[in-house]
A and B are shown apart, each in its own frame.
Chain A
Amino acid sequence: MRSHPVWLSRHNLALSAAAVLSACLVAACSSGGSSSSTGNTSTSSPANTKPILIGASLSLTGDFSADGQAFQKGYQLWAADVNSSGGLLGRQVQLKILNDNSSPTQVQTNYQTLFASDKVDLAFGPFSSLLTTPSASVAARYGYAMIEGAGGAPSVFASPANQSAHNIFDVSLPIEDELIPFVNWVASLPPGQRPKTAAYPMADDPFADPPVQLAQSRLKALGVKTVYSKIFPAENASYKPAADQVAATGAQAVVLGSTDVPTVAAFMQAFEQQHYNPKMFICAAGPDQGAAFTSAVGKSNATGMMVPNGWYPGYQNAASQKMVQDYVAKYGGSPSDINADVAEGYAVGQVAAQAVTATKGTNNAKIISYLHSGVTLSSVQGPVRFDNFGKNSSAAAFTFQWQQQGAAYNQILPVSTAGSVAVINPKPNWTS
């Protein structure tokens, strides 16, 4: 009944192909292109004109797109700064960034392309621990150092490829220890001010769970009773049922193992709808994303929300202050709007630059050896010193809190550290 001439099938095929091609074109344009070069200008000497090609795969679309695009800005800001001051070893740097659509499979293909076809000189890491592990194994096969800023989960360093090749170098704070300043602060409170109960909802993600589980065990040892501790799928139809279950416990502290803003926003909304306001609310990630966070949850509701991290826009570090100025000049907004991923990306570039300068080239074997030599490097996030498996053993662990009706993102912990301001405790009521 529905048979049709062959030409119709070909016509359909052509129409479909045209639609897919145009879709891919739009997707490519919208994601900023599958590759980009930054500040690549010619130099006078032929020997110096060949740029240092740096390859990276980032999540410009997909679940991690907000983080991936912030990382891209960090890489591009660094490259622009380096090129404007003469490049590395007299050579300009050129970035080639491929979009992995937040896919652990695509990220491997991208690095394969960067190493085998593009023959990049250096590799910068992707976003998230979930994508760093497969990427680093490809890098290990090709003998590349994988300098990255967002793969701090224990599983990344413990991956078989890294155990063998020792090629991962995470310039940021190892995430397992992120919540320790918070735990230490709770321990420092008079017993009457400590939370008596705590809830630990966690997304099923290698980034989100380890710090929350460590915090849970430490707080339990301090006498804080666990009233909820469950892992939920990272892809969730609705967080409301789980969030309502947490609200029903009435826990005085909530330690949320989150990976992104939507998860935190969903829990905040459900808590407010349930008229439940924990005294302390700290998330593994989400509130660190600047304007991306406040625009989703509302500035006033952001007040009192805490998040661990290794960097914030007010960080008293000359390079960091310059990067913040450059960012605002280029992208607008205010310093507190800057996503912490920008600094992580920028720090990756800084560490790579110091390694290239010290080894006088882009030989990855020499770079790996140099980065494992115990040398302390500098970055916008503070000192960087790698241990045997590429963890930054010198990274500072801070905790930040949104204050002043969401207008200020302040360092609060460790209390005795320069730059820390008073903690808002307990968290103010929801105000929307």
Chain B
Amino acid sequence: MARQIYQAIVDGILVGGVYALMAVGLTLIFGVLDIINIAQGVLVILGAYLSYTLSVRIHLDLFLGLLITVPAMFVIGVVIQWAFIRRLRGRERTSMTLLVTYAVALIIEGILYEIYGPNPKQLNASYVQSSLHVFGFYLSYIYLYGFALALVLIAAIYALLYRTMFGRSVRATMQDHTAARLIGIEVNRVAALTFGVGVAVTAAGGMMFGATNAFNPNSGYDLISRLLAIIILGGLGSIGGALAASVFMLTLESLVTIWSPEWAIVVFYAALVLVLLIRPTGFFGRQPVRAQ
């Protein structure tokens, strides 16, 4: 039994890294724009398809492919923000953005069905199926690389937020849109670039999801509720919180799977409710941010 528990913990941590990659963009976008991007799940799948295309068409390694897919997704993110979200203002803005991002998800899903069809795909590379033998456990390389990638990307986002002028603008905007505008920050530009960065990070999450799961254009809808639960638990807008919550939730789910896989998903959401009862802002959420 002890071995099963260790294995479950290892699995939970590694799978949690994959989910962190998918959730970071969502929480970043929420932190700055104050909107829930319902299209995040489909954007993950779009990232997976971009990696798939590069892998199949020009045999580009999955991680090297990120050098192309991350900038491509950044551009897509900026375009989505410019075309659909920029003009939404007023009291209904939050509800309108839910509707608009859902529409964006439908558009992307429809285009993906048109291009790739409904049959599931999976990303492949030599390290996707192979594993490292450590202390009697097999740790798959793809999950190890994915976890490392999550740490690197989160560190990079922290550096962007805390070591650059752009980051200062973003943080100022996160704290107070109006005050940021008053001190000369181009809030609309910051919003567009932040949305772009959030979607760009999702390219990495998409690649990891596609390498560890078979996917088709519809696969994103199963993800969004879990990603929302993760960023709420981590603290809306908290990058590190997304990683912590991902690892916590997936480890918990993995442990429950030992005894009852059916209950694992119940425990996943029950844990969210319990934590929020004790700490309504999640692990790392800040009340002032939400008080805007």
Bound complex: CA A231 to CA B262 (Å):
6
Bound complex: CA A328 to CA B253 (Å):
45
Question: When A2-B90, A23-B110 are in contact, do A273 and B138 touch as well, CB less than 8 Å?
Answer: yes
Bound complex: CA A295 to CA B104 (Å):
28
Measured CB to CB, the closest approach of chain B to A115, in angstroms, equals: 27
Residues of B contacting A16 in the complex (Cβ-Cβ under 8 angstroms): 88, 96, 99-100, 103
The 8 Å CB contact of B265, one of A2, A24, A237, is: A237
Residues of A contacting B226 in the complex (Cβ-Cβ under 8 angstroms): 237
Most chain A CB within 10 A, of B15, B107, B261, B264, is at B261
Within B81-121, the residues touching A (CB, 8 Å) are: 84, 87-93, 96, 99-100, 102-107, 109-114, 117-121
Within B25-61, the residues touching A (CB, 8 Å) are: none
Residues of A contacting B124 in the complex (Cβ-Cβ under 8 angstroms): 298, 432
Q: Does A113 contact B (CB under 8 A)?
A: no
Contact B99 A31 (CB under 8 A): no
Residues of A contacting B107 in the complex (Cβ-Cβ under 8 angstroms): 19, 22-23, 26-27
Contact A2 B91 (CB under 8 A): yes
The 8 Å CB contact of A240, one of B111, B117, B212, is: B212
Residues of B contacting A13 in the complex (Cβ-Cβ under 8 angstroms): 92, 96
Bound complex: CA A4 to CA B222 (Å):
36
Most chain B CB within 10 A, of A1, A244, A260, is at A244
Measured CB to CB, the closest approach of chain B to A180, in angstroms, equals: 26
Q: Does B12 contact A (CB under 8 A)?
A: yes
Measured CB to CB, the closest approach of chain A to B290, in angstroms, equals: 14
Contact A430 B100 (CB under 8 A): no
- Which stretch (A43-51, A57-65, A88-96) binds chain B? A57-65
Within A223-267, the residues touching B (CB, 8 Å) are: 230-233, 235-238, 240-242, 244-245, 248, 260-262, 265-266
Contact A30 B111 (CB under 8 A): yes
Residues of A contacting B215 in the complex (Cβ-Cβ under 8 angstroms): 262
Q: Does B214 contact A (CB under 8 A)?
A: yes
The 8 Å CB contact of A19, one of B18, B103, B113, is: B103
Contact B103 A12 (CB under 8 A): no
The 8 Å CB contact of B214, one of A9, A63, A265, is: A265
Residues of B contacting A430 in the complex (Cβ-Cβ under 8 angstroms): 129
Within B234-280, the residues touching A (CB, 8 Å) are: 250, 253-254, 257-258, 260-262, 264-265, 268
Measured CB to CB, the closest approach of chain B to A44, in angstroms, equals: 39
Contact B261 A273 (CB under 8 A): no
Q: Which residue of B lies closest to A233 (CB)?
A: B265
Contact A262 B214 (CB under 8 A): yes
Contact B257 A242 (CB under 8 A): yes
Measured CB to CB, the closest approach of chain A to B260, in angstroms, equals: 7
Contact B214 A230 (CB under 8 A): no
Q: Does B128 contact A (CB under 8 A)?
A: yes
Question: When A65-B218, A262-B214 are in contact, do A244 and B87 touch as well, CB less than 8 Å?
Answer: no
Residues of A contacting B222 in the complex (Cβ-Cβ under 8 angstroms): 63, 235
Contact B178 A292 (CB under 8 A): no
The 8 Å CB contact of B130, one of A245, A260, A273, is: A273
Q: Does A275 contact B (CB under 8 A)?
A: yes
The 8 Å CB contact of A241, one of B8, B105, B111, is: B8
Question: When A12-B96, A233-B264, A235-B265 are in contact, do A297 and B113 touch as well, CB less than 8 Å?
Answer: no
Residues of B contacting A291 in the complex (Cβ-Cβ under 8 angstroms): 119
Q: Which residue of B lies closest to A247 (CB)?
A: B138
The 8 Å CB contact of A248, one of B7, B89, B130, B221, is: B7
Contact B15 A238 (CB under 8 A): yes
Measured CB to CB, the closest approach of chain B to A135, in angstroms, equals: 20
Bound complex: CA A9 to CA B88 (Å):
8
Contact B12 A272 (CB under 8 A): no
Residues of B contacting A158 in the complex (Cβ-Cβ under 8 angstroms): none
Measured CB to CB, the closest approach of chain A to B159, in angstroms, equals: 29
Contact B15 A240 (CB under 8 A): yes
Bound complex: CA A230 to CA B117 (Å):
33
Q: Does A296 contact B (CB under 8 A)?
A: yes
5 tightest A-B CB contacts, nearest first: A232-B261, A23-B106, A26-B110, A30-B110, A65-B118
In the assembled complex, 5 residue pairs joining A and B whose CB atoms fall closer than 8 Å, in A order, are A12-B87, A12-B89, A20-B100, A261-B120, A273-B130
Known contacts A26-B114, A65-B216; can you find 11 more A-B pairs with CB under 8 A? A20-B106, A27-B110, A30-B111, A201-B261, A236-B261, A238-B11, A240-B11, A269-B122, A274-B138, A297-B122, A430-B129
